[in-house]
Amino acid sequence: MTDEPASEVIAALYADSWSRIVATMIRFTGGDWNLAEECAQDAFTQALRRWPDEGIPRQPLAWLTTAARNRAIDTFRRASTEAAKLRQWAALEAKAPPPYTRDSEIPDERLELMFTCCHPALNLDAQVALTLRSLAGLSTADIARAFLVSERTMAQRIFRAKQKVAHAVIPFRVPPAHLLPDRLPAVLHVLYLLYNESYSDQQHKARLSTEAIRLARVLATLMPDEPEAQGLLALMLLQEARLATRLDAEGELVTLEHQDRSLWDRKRIDEATAILESALRRRRAGPFQIQAAIAACHATAASVEKTDWPQIVGLYDQLRRVSPSPLVDLNRTVALAMAQGPETALPDLDTLTASGRLDGYHLLHAARADLLAKVGRDAEARASLETALELAPTDAERRLLQQRLHPGRT
Tell me the H-state helices in 55-150.
60-79, 83-94, 109-117, 124-134, 140-146
> Does 170 participate in binding another protein (rule CB under 8 A)?
yes
Contact criterion met (CB below 8 Å) for 199 and 158: no
> Does 86 participate in binding another protein (rule CB under 8 A)?
no
Q: How far apart are CA 300 and CA 180, in angstroms?
A: 33
In angstroms, what is the minimal distance from the CB of 93 to another protein? 23
Q: How far is CA 123 from CA 120, 133, 158, 173, 280, in A?
A: 7, 15, 11, 18, 31
Q: Which stretch binds another protein (CB under 8 A): 145-153, 168-176, 304-312, 349-357?
A: 168-176
Count the Cβ atoms, other than its own, within 10 Å of residue 181.
Answer: 11
Contact criterion met (CB below 8 Å) for 206 and 198: yes
CA 343 to chain CA centroid, nearest Å: 38
Q: Which stretch binds another protein (CB under 8 A): 106-114, 170-178, 314-322, 377-385?
A: 170-178
Q: Which stretch binds another protein (CB under 8 A): 151-159, 163-171, 295-303, 359-367?
A: 163-171
In angstroms, what is the minimal distance from the CB of 164 to another protein? 9
Q: Which stretch binds another protein (CB under 8 A): 93-101, 169-177, 256-264, 317-325?
A: 169-177
Task: Out of 175, 185, 314, 326, name the contact with another protein by CB under 8 A.
Answer: 175
Contact criterion met (CB below 8 Å) for 300 and 269: yes
Q: Which stretch binds another protein (CB under 8 A): 21-29, 58-66, 171-179, 384-392?
A: 171-179
Looking only at Cα atoms, what is the longest distance across the chain? 86
In angstroms, what is the minimal distance from the CB of 166 to another protein? 9
> Does 326 participate in binding another protein (rule CB under 8 A)?
no
DSSP H or E stretch at residue 248: none
Task: Out of 12, 86, 121, 327, name the contact with another protein by CB under 8 A.
Answer: 121
Contact criterion met (CB below 8 Å) for 333 and 364: no
Nearer to another protein, 179 or 244 (CB): 179
DSSP 356: T
Task: Out of 1, 169, 177, 354, name the contact with another protein by CB under 8 A.
Answer: 169
**Interacting residue ranges for another protein, rule: CB under 8 A:** 119, 121, 167-171, 175, 179
